[in-house]
Amino acid sequence: MKFQELFIESLGTLTLNKTRTGLAILGIVIGIGSVIALISLGQATQQSIQNQIQSLGSNLLTVQPGGSVGQGGVRTAMGSRTTLTLADAAAISESPEITTIEYVSPELQNRSQVITGSSNTNTQIIGVTSNYQYVHNVNIASGNFISDSDNDSLNKVAVLGPQVVTDLFGEDVDPVGKTIRINSQTLTVIGVTEAKGGTGFNNQDDVVYVPLSVAQKQLFGSNYLSSIALTAVDANSMVAAQDEVGFFLLARHNISDPTSADFSIMSQQDIIKTITSTTGTFTTLLSGVAAISLIVGGIGIMNIMLVTVTERTREIGLRKALGAKKKTITTQFLLESIILTFTGGVIGVLVGIITSFVISKVTSSLFVISPASIMLAFMVSAGIGILFGWYPAKKASELQPIVALRYE
Amino acid sequence: MKSDTPIIKTTHLSKVYITDIIKTVALDDVSFEVNKGEFLAIMGPSGSGKSTLMHILGALDKPSSGEYVLDGKNVEKLSDDELSEIRNQKIGFIFQAYNLLPRTTALKNVMLPMAYAGVDIPTREQKAKEYLEIVGLKDRMYHTTNQLSGGQQQRVAIARALSMNPAILLADEPTGNIATNQAEEIMDLFKQLNHQGHTVIMITHEEDIAAHAKRVIHIRDGKIVSDTKTK
C-alpha cells in the first residue's frame, strides 16, 4: 500500500474506534499535561525563592569605619569611628581601577524621634543618595524616592517606610505631601516604600530616608558616613570587589599595613552560600519532580498504547492472513501512534500550560513556563507513545497469522 | 479443465503443540497431493486436526515437521513477506469465524486484500462490488460488519476470499452458519469457480455438502483414514 493510502487508513481506523482513540489521547494528554504543570510549578517556586533572596541584596558589600583592631588593642564598636567621608564614596565610584563595583551608596544612619501632629515614633533615620534604592532593592509604593537634585539642593524631604507611616498616620493613609519633624527640622514626605518585612532592629520597613546632605548638615551635623554600601557587578566578582575596594581605600587613607586599616568591608557571603545551596537543592528537587512525573506520565502512555495495540493482535493476524507484509502493518501502527501522540501531545501541552496558569492565579504565585520543559515532556512522551504503539505491533506482525488470530 | 500437476503436495506433514505439561499431536504424518482444478472436501470429527491442516495449507501456520510444496514452492523456505504475498495472490481463505474487520463496511472488508496487492482504488471498489453481488449482498455493501447477520458475514468473507481471484480457495466450514437454500447457492458458486479452474478445498462435517465435492478425505486423530474420488 502507498504511504498516503496507509495514512488515510490509519486515520480511518482511529476515527472508527472513537472510545479507544479518545482514551489513548486522554492518557497522553494527562501524561504530558501533568509533567508540564509540575515542572512549571517547581520552576515558579524556585523563581520566587530566588527573587526573595535577591531582594535582600545578594551582591552587597558594606564598608564601615573602624578596623578590626583599634588603637592600643582596644576594639571599638563597629561604625562608631569617623573615618569614611563622602569623598571616599565619590572616589570609589569614579576610580578607573575599580571595575567590579556597580553602585556606590554612601549612608549616614542615626536613631531619632520623628514627630507629626500629636503622634511620634523613635525610628532609624538614614541619609541616602538616589543609589540607595538600587543597592538595597527598595521599591516605591507611592510618590518618589530621594533624588540627586534633592541632595544637591538640600531639599527637606523624606521617604517613609510603611511601618513609620502606620505609626505616625495610621493605617491606609497616603502621607505624601504631609510634613514630619526630625530634630526641629520640618520635612515634607515625598514617598512611601513597599513593605519588605523583617523585625526588630532589622525592620526594613521601620525607617525614614532623607537626602544624605540634609542628614549630614541639618539633622545630625556630621561630615562623616556611617557606611558605604556597594554592589558588585555580579555574585561571582564579590571577592575581587572586596579586594579592589580594600586596597583602594588603604592607599587613599595612606595605610600600608592592612591589619591597621581604619575601615572594614563585610560581604554577604552567608547569603551567597544560602543562594547557592538553595538553588542547588531546588535544581535537584526540580529534576526529581520532572523525572518522576516523566516516568509516571510515560508509564501511563506506555500502558494505554500497549493495551490498545495488544488488543488488536487478532486484527494484525487477519491483515497478515490477507496478504499484508510486516512493513505495511508496522507502518500503519507507527502512523497511528504518531497521530495519537501528536494530537494528545498538543492538547497535553495546552492543558499543562492552562493548568499552571490557573495554579499560579489561585495561589497568586509566579507563572513560569519554560520551552525546554515543554520540549522535554513532549519529546519523552511522544517517544514512549510511538515506541509502545509500534513495538507490540511489530511483535504481533512477526507471529504466524494463525497464532495472532487465536490471540485472546 | 483438469490438470495432473499437483498444486499442493504434502509429505509426512505433522504438527505437534507442546505446552508445559501436555504434548498434543494435531497432525500425524499426513501425505497427500491435490492437483490443479480439484474440488476436495475434508471431513472428520472435531479435534481430528482438519482445521490445523487447513491452516498449514493456507500458509497461516507452519508444520512441526514434514514438507509442504505449494505450486512448486517449498513453503518452509519462504520468507515471512513471501508467504504474505502467496496468501494474498494465490490463496483465498474463508475462516470459520469469518474474521472480518470490525466496524468496517462489507465493501471495505472485501477491498482489503486488493489494497495489500496494490490494486488501484477504482478497480478495487468495482471488483469488490462485483463479488458482493455474486454472494447476494448487493444491498448490504455499506453495512458495517456488526450490522450483518452471521450468514451475511460469512458471505462477505467468501466475497473477500474471491476478490483476488485466487488459484486455491480454502474454506473452513463455509456453510456452517448459512440456511440450507443459501448453502446450496454457495455450493453452486464453488462448483462454478471449480469449473473455471480454481482448486477448491473445504472442510465440512455435513455429508450433503461434502457430496458436492469430487474427492473426499476423512481425517481422524491427525491421520488420513480414507481418500476417495467420488466423481
| Mean pLDDT along residues A50-69 | 71
Cα-based torsion angle of the residue sequence A170, A171, A176, A178 in order, rounded to the nearest 10 degrees = -20
Q: Does B108 fall in a domain?
A: yes
Q: Residue B195 burial by CB count (10 A; 0-12/13-18/19+): exposed, middle or buried?
A: exposed
How many CB contacts within 8 angstroms connect chain A with chain B?
Answer: 65
Using one digit for the tens of pLDDT, what is the confidence trace for B108-141? 999 999 999 999 999 999 999 999 998 889 999 9
Q: Final residue of a domain: which of A237, A267, A297?
A: A267
Long-range CB contacts (within 8 A, 24+) of B68-71: B68/B8, B68/B9, B68/B10, B68/B13, B69/B6, B69/B8, B69/B9, B69/B10, B69/B11, B70/B7, B70/B8, B71/B7, B71/B8, B71/B167
* Interchain contact, B103 vs A16, CB within 8 Å: yes
Domain encompassing residue B208: 38-50+79-229
- Residues A145 and A280 reside in one and the same domain: no
ipTM entry: 0.92
| Greater pLDDT, B196 or A267 | B196
| Greater pLDDT, B171 or A50 | B171
Question: Cell digits for A270?
Answer: 552567608
- Residues A332 and A260 reside in one and the same domain: no
B125 reaches A (C-beta below 8 A): no
Scanning the structure block, which residue is given the C-alpha cell 468495482? Answer: B126
* Interchain contact, A323 vs B89, CB within 8 Å: yes
Q: Which of residues 166-225 of B touch A (CB under 8 A)?
A: none
What is the percentage of chain A residues whose pLDDT exceeds 90?
25
Which pLDDT does position B1 carry in this prediction? 44
pLDDT band at B14 (very low <50, low <70, confident <90, very high): very high
Q: Does B164 fall in a domain?
A: yes
* Cβ atoms of B211 and B182 closer than 8 Å: no
Using one digit for the tens of pLDDT, what is the confidence trace for A113-150? 999 888 889 999 999 999 998 888 888 988 999 999 99
Domain count, chain A: 2
- Residues A201 and A317 reside in one and the same domain: no
Q: Final residue of a domain: which of A267, A301, A326?
A: A267
Distance from CA of B158 to the nearest CA of A (A): 13
- Residues A305 and A397 reside in one and the same domain: yes
- Residues A37 and A71 reside in one and the same domain: no
Determine the straight-line distance between the first and last CA of chain A, rounded to whole angstroms: 28
Which pLDDT does position A45 carry in this prediction? 78
| Mean pLDDT along residues A345-357 | 92
B84 reaches A (C-beta below 8 A): yes
* Interchain contact, A324 vs B55, CB within 8 Å: no
Question: Per-residue pLDDT for B207 more than 70?
Answer: yes
* Cβ atoms of B67 and B11 closer than 8 Å: yes
**Which of A75-89, A161-175, B60-74, B180-194 is most confident?**
B60-74
When CB atoms are compared, the residue of B80, B104, B112 closest to A322 is B112
pLDDT band at B2 (very low <50, low <70, confident <90, very high): very low
Which pLDDT does position A27 carry in this prediction? 84
Which pLDDT does position A127 carry in this prediction? 93
pLDDT band at B165 (very low <50, low <70, confident <90, very high): very high
Best to test chain B binding among A2, A10, A322 (most B CBs inside 10 Å): A322
Question: Per-residue pLDDT for A73 more than 60?
Answer: no
**Which of A1-15, A65-79, A342-356 is most confident?**
A342-356
Using one digit for the tens of pLDDT, what is the confidence trace for B18-60? 888 888 899 999 999 999 999 999 999 888 899 999 999 999 9
CA distance A266 to A92: 16
Phi then psi for B104, rounded to 5 degrees? -125, 145
Q: Does B125 fall in a domain?
A: yes
Of A204-208, A326-330, B177-181, B196-200, the poorest mean pLDDT is in B177-181
Domain encompassing residue A171: 60-267
* DSSP-assigned beta bridge partners for residue B223: B220
Q: Which amino acid, B99?
A: N
Which pLDDT does position A55 carry in this prediction? 65
For residue B111, give the H/E element and its range: helix B106-117
- Residues A110 and A189 reside in one and the same domain: yes
| Greater pLDDT, A1 or A322 | A322
pTM reported for the whole predicted model: 0.68
- Residues A47 and A108 reside in one and the same domain: no
- Residues A203 and A252 reside in one and the same domain: yes
When CB atoms are compared, the residue of B88, B99, B104 closest to A405 is B99
Q: Does B107 fall in a domain?
A: yes
* Cβ atoms of A32 and A345 closer than 8 Å: yes
pLDDT band at B103 (very low <50, low <70, confident <90, very high): confident
Which pLDDT does position A329 carry in this prediction? 92
| Greater pLDDT, B16 or A80 | B16
Q: Final residue of a domain: which of A267, A299, A317?
A: A267
* Interchain contact, B60 vs A401, CB within 8 Å: yes
Q: Closest-CA residue in chain B for A325?
A: B81
Domain count, chain B: 1
CA distance B211 to B121: 39
Contacts of A401 in chain B (CB under 8 A): 60-61, 87
Distance from CA of A13 to the nearest CA of B (A): 9
CA distance B88 to B116: 8
For residue B34, give the H/E element and its range: strand B23-35
Question: Per-residue pLDDT for A71 more than 50?
Answer: no
Question: Per-residue pLDDT for A268 more than 80?
Answer: no
We report the CATH number of the domain holding residue B153 as 3.40.50.300
What 8-state DSSP symbol labels residue B171?
E
* Interchain contact, A401 vs B113, CB within 8 Å: no
Q: Does B14 fall in a domain?
A: no
